[in-house]
A and B are shown apart, each in its own frame.
Chain A
Amino acid sequence: MYEAVHAHPDGQSTVARFAKTAADYGFEGVVVRNHADSRAEYDADRISEAYGIDVVSGLEIRATNPQEAGGSVGNYRSSKTILALHGGTNALNRFAVENEKLDVLTHPMADRGDVNHVLVKAAVENGVRLEFNLSGVLRKSGGQRVRVIQSLRKLKEIVDYYDAPYVVSADPTSHLELRGPRELQAVGEQLGFSSEFITEGLTEWQRLAERNRRIQSESFIEPGVERGRYEEQR
């Protein structure tokens, strides 16, 4: 199970601190998904060796319109393992689910964004994961939290119907906001999401990272064609 975090300078804790805390809580990896304007500098191999946890490089593209977002996708796709888009408006949600180069559409229901059957079908077709962002449940209260829970339930109904791919995250910006997998499962149960659903969403980050690392490795040429070991010429 992996968690996707906003590290310093986007958040208030460094990647190493996130990795240490996440390892203590029982996560197997962290995905660093800083926004493009505040990228973190870190040595992933050193951190993962020190704390025994996988560190995946990622990026969350924040753009005001689809044209800008399209430029960023081209800039960062080859250098980052997981590429996400900061969703929340209808235009950007639409752009994300129709772009197969993107991996994740984060918080599609935040602000005034919305999701419908058309977007979810497009997400299934292009393999874009929709994010269930639990940050509003964990850190908001009152009417705002009610609306967040309503939107999560709506998203779950549509995702269930079309069997769409999804990820789950608490979206922490500091090590204090990180919650363990069992805590997230318990919160999910209260919202009407089974613990298997939450586990599946946390594991999806891991599957994404593995898939993209394989695709980006040098031995991969195109689907079905890989460079293997060949007989040496004599």
Chain B
Amino acid sequence: MKHLPKHLQPRWRYLAVELESWPGESIGRRAFQRECWYAAQNLLGDPGSARADMTVIKFECTGKTGEAIVRVRRGETDPARAALSCIDEIDGAPVGISVCGISGTIRAAEEKYLGRREQDSKERNVVFGNEERVAVVQECVADVRLDEAFVGATDLDCDLV
């Protein structure tokens, strides 16, 4: 079909989103898109979800942190932000999610808000609570592996061995 004339094309806003999870969990693009839709439907209902029209445009997840750009209709950014913040799990993996900025173009969203976090993480032995543990260290934050679960810590809590 012939595309719409410019003045009838929808106006979009692009939300730059940062994701975080525990080490060892991997989040897929499709899973994130599905959670976005579910969250929007559960919080905003079908009409609200259709109005916001949340679509994952770009998604990148390496290790425990990820970045995404979510496209929403102009004027619906606040409901979309609310729906995004109600995502607490993706495929059973607990996630932390924050919208770090909103732009009118994908390029501006990327350049202004994304790619600021250091991506590489490595396993180190650390002393946490007087015991030696394995931790996944990234910049100055460390996720320390206890017996079954992880504990989120920073360089103030643990000493590198």
Inter-chain contact B96/A176, CB cutoff 8 Å: yes
**Which B residues are in CB contact (< 8 Å) with A182?**
81, 99
Contact with A along B35-59 (1 / 0, CB 8 A): 0000000111000000000000000
Contact with A along B79-96 (1 / 0, CB 8 A): 101101110100000111
Contact with B along A23-48 (1 / 0, CB 8 A): 01100000000000000000100110
User: Chain A: interface residue count, which band?
Assistant: 20 to 34
Inter-chain contact B88/A138, CB cutoff 8 Å: yes
**Which B residues are in CB contact (< 8 Å) with A145?**
42
Contact with B along A169-187 (1 / 0, CB 8 A): 0000011111110111011
A23 to B43, CA, bound (A): 27
Surface stretch bound by B, among A10-18, A108-116, A150-158, A211-219: A10-18
Known contacts being A176-B94, A178-B96, is A187 close to B82, with CB within 8 Å? yes
Inter-chain contact A174/B94, CB cutoff 8 Å: yes
Q: Is A67 an interface residue (CB 8 A)?
A: no
Inter-chain contact B79/A186, CB cutoff 8 Å: yes
Inter-chain contact B43/A190, CB cutoff 8 Å: yes
Contact with A along B142-161 (1 / 0, CB 8 A): 00000001111110110000
User: Chain B: interface residue count, which band?
Assistant: 20 to 34
Q: Is B20 an interface residue (CB 8 A)?
A: yes
Known contacts being A183-B81, A183-B85, is A12 close to B98, with CB within 8 Å? no
Inter-chain contact B88/A139, CB cutoff 8 Å: yes
Q: Is A80 an interface residue (CB 8 A)?
A: no
Contact with A along B17-30 (1 / 0, CB 8 A): 00011100000000
- Looking at chain A's contact residues, the main secondary structure is helix
**Which A residues are in CB contact (< 8 Å) with B150?**
12
Q: Is B60 an interface residue (CB 8 A)?
A: no
Inter-chain contact A17/B152, CB cutoff 8 Å: yes
Q: Is A8 an interface residue (CB 8 A)?
A: yes
Q: Is B78 an interface residue (CB 8 A)?
A: yes
Q: Nearest chain-B residue to A190 (Cβ)?
A: B82
A25 to B81, CA, bound (A): 14
CB distance from A170 to the nearest CB of B (A): 9
A21 to B95, CA, bound (A): 13
Inter-chain contact B81/A186, CB cutoff 8 Å: yes
Inter-chain contact A175/B152, CB cutoff 8 Å: yes
CB distance from A147 to the nearest CB of B (A): 14
Q: Nearest chain-A residue to B158 (Cβ)?
A: A14
Inter-chain contact A14/B153, CB cutoff 8 Å: yes
| Centre residue among A16, A145, A184 by max chain B CB count within 10 A | A16
Chain B contacts to A: CB under 8 angstroms: 20-22, 42-44, 78-79, 81-82, 84-86, 88, 94-99, 140-141, 149-154, 156-157
Interchain Cβ contacts under 8 Å between A and B, 9 examples = A12-B149, A13-B151, A14-B154, A43-B156, A46-B156, A141-B42, A175-B96, A176-B96, A177-B96
Can you add 20 more A-B contacts, CB < 8 Å, to A14-B153, A180-B85?
A12-B149, A12-B152, A13-B151, A14-B154, A17-B153, A17-B154, A145-B42, A176-B21, A176-B88, A176-B152, A177-B88, A177-B94, A177-B96, A180-B99, A182-B99, A183-B81, A183-B98, A183-B99, A186-B79, A187-B86
